Amino acid sequence: MGALNTPSHFVGLDAARRSGVAGFGLPTRRALAASLSLAVAGLFQLTAAAQGPKPAPADVSASAAVTTPLPAASAAPAAAVAPAPVSSGQAVAPPTSPLGPEAAPMTDEPVLEARLLKLSEELRCLVCQNESLASSRAELADDLRREVRSLLSEGKTDQQVKSFLVERYGDFVLYRPELKPMTWLLWFGPFVLLLGAVSGLGWYLRQRRKLADTAPAMSDAERARVDQWLKD
Amino acid sequence: MKKFLIPLGLFFGLVIFLALGLQRDPHEIPSPLINKPAPAFSLPTLDPKAGTFSPAEMQGRVWLLNVWATWCVACRQEHPLLVDFAQRHQVPIVGMSYKEIQPQDVQAQGMDATAKLQFARERSQVWLSRYGNPYVLSVMDLDGRVGIQYGVYGVPETYVIDKQGVIRYKAVGEVTPAILASKVLPLIQKLNAS
């Protein structure tokens, strides 16, 4: 369900559009993109930190570069104004990163954004129907994400947001329909079918075995005839 | 012989289910808003002199709410029907111009809210004078937030709202003569009689 989305796709929709990384369809590609962005982020921090006033710790982990709100972003402009003190041979590099300026953080509220992302992966886009609200780039999806974002920042719970949408668009917006008498068939139907099929199979097998047990055994004359046929 | 009848029966059962499935439009999502009060809103009208409109003003009347936009092709297709309907029947149709300004409208980029509203009004007015105006009035839902309240997910959409302000019917997509004759008109007559 959620495998279709990358976080960058969601919060940085415009950035994703520009760079053309949106629309990865496969989990493997997603993983590829994620590792690539991790690598890039790590590289960024390493180069930026090397130019900053403090020498970089040698073990800047790539994951920290993603979860922490990029301390390098503040260090880089300072380095551009005043040349960094020479701490190692690397300082001969130009003051700005060869990869261009550091991207601005995509959101001021990463916790809210994460909730929005998680929630909108559970919601269906009504225009594209087989895409989640998180992955869809339809305009209505944009609007609904904005609506969900504002509801969340008002302090609504996930459940309240879901019922807000269900009240307006119906159960269809939920990828996982609620369990209620209307949806019993949907939830339990397959298991009922499976149960039926298994018991049908059991009944058939029992019937067959009974038939085999009760079938009259061959007489000696019949056996001799079969042997004769087999020989011929 | 009996042995053949079972798979044959299953096969026809499957055929019937598939045939029924093919008849259905997957884009038509039953609205949960039917028989619920029409969400309240207050929006600027197309006519700048008329101020704002809210559904409470229609209390006591059966009316239609038609969601439209000048960029919407299906709206243009259904429009003559609405014009004709408004001429022939005493049913007020309120238009709701939904997200008239689209992201791809380069002329409107960088405009402030007032200029955007002005721009949308002008374009909608031109469109209505060209294709006819079936609306008693039109409201401007520029950011589409009222649309979300009404569960709009495709334009055009048409709602029948009764005297108590309850939504009684919703047509997604363009209305057809068949829908008007078989669903909308009888319903309006029934609601008006009650």
Provide the token pair at A215.
């079938």
pLDDT of residue A34: 52
Least confident of A49-58, B2-11, B139-148, B160-169: A49-58
User: Do B148 and A143 make contact, defined as CB atoms within 8 angstroms?
Assistant: yes
Q: How confident is the model at residue A36 (pLDDT cuts 50, 70, 90)?
A: low
The CATH number of A110-173, from 1.10.8.640, 1.20.81.30, 2.40.10.10, 3.30.110.30, is: 1.10.8.640
Alpha-carbon distances of A63 from A5, A34, A43, A67, B57, rounded to whole Å: 19, 11, 12, 6, 57
The pLDDT of residue B116 is above 70: yes
Residue with tokens 């363009």: B174
Return mean pLDDT, chain A: 70
Closest CA to A41 of A79, A68, A80, A12: A68
Residues A131, A132, A134: CA angle, nearest 5 degrees: 125
Q: Which fold has domain B32-193?
A: Glutaredoxin (3.40.30)
- Residues of A within 8 A of B150 (CB-CB) are 168
The pLDDT of residue B177 is above 80: yes
Q: How confident is the model at residue A26 (pLDDT cuts 50, 70, 90)?
A: very low
Q: Would you list the domain boundaries of chain B?
A: 32-193
Q: What is the ipTM of this complex?
A: 0.82
Q: How confident is the model at residue B154 (pLDDT cuts 50, 70, 90)?
A: confident
- Residues of B within 8 A of A185 (CB-CB) are none
- Window 29-58 of B: residues touching A by CB (8 A cutoff) are 29-33, 36
Q: In Å, how far is A127's CA from the nearest CA of chain B?
A: 6
- Window 87-106 of B: residues touching A by CB (8 A cutoff) are 99, 102-103
pLDDT (tens digit, 9 = 90+) per residue, B6-51?
899 999 999 999 999 888 877 777 788 999 999 999 999 999 998 9
Contact, A148 vs A119, CB < 8 A? Answer: yes
Provide the token pair at B115.
């200029």
Outline where A139-219 has alpha helix (H).
Answer: 139-153, 158-169, 184-214
- CB-nearest partner of A129 from B26, B143, B144: B26
- CA gap A157, A208 in Å, rounded: 57
User: Do A143 and B149 make contact, defined as CB atoms within 8 angstroms?
Assistant: no
Closest CA to B5 of B155, B126, B13, A207: B13
- The predicted model gives A112-140 an average pLDDT of 88
More confident residue, B171 or A62: B171
User: Do B30 and A170 make contact, defined as CB atoms within 8 angstroms?
Assistant: yes
pLDDT of residue A78: 42
pLDDT of residue A40: 53
User: Do A169 and B151 make contact, defined as CB atoms within 8 angstroms?
Assistant: yes
User: Do B148 and A147 make contact, defined as CB atoms within 8 angstroms?
Assistant: yes
Q: In Å, how far is B8's CA from the nearest CA of chain A?
A: 18
- CA gap B116, B122 in Å, rounded: 10
> By CA distance, what is A169's nearest residue in B?
B151
Alpha-carbon distances of B186 from A100, B37, B44, rounded to whole Å: 66, 20, 31
Phi-psi region of B60 (alpha: psi -120 to 50; beta: other; left: phi over 0): left
The partner residues of B53 in beta bridges, in order of sequence, read: B43
pLDDT (tens digit, 9 = 90+) per residue, A64-79?
444 444 444 444 444 4
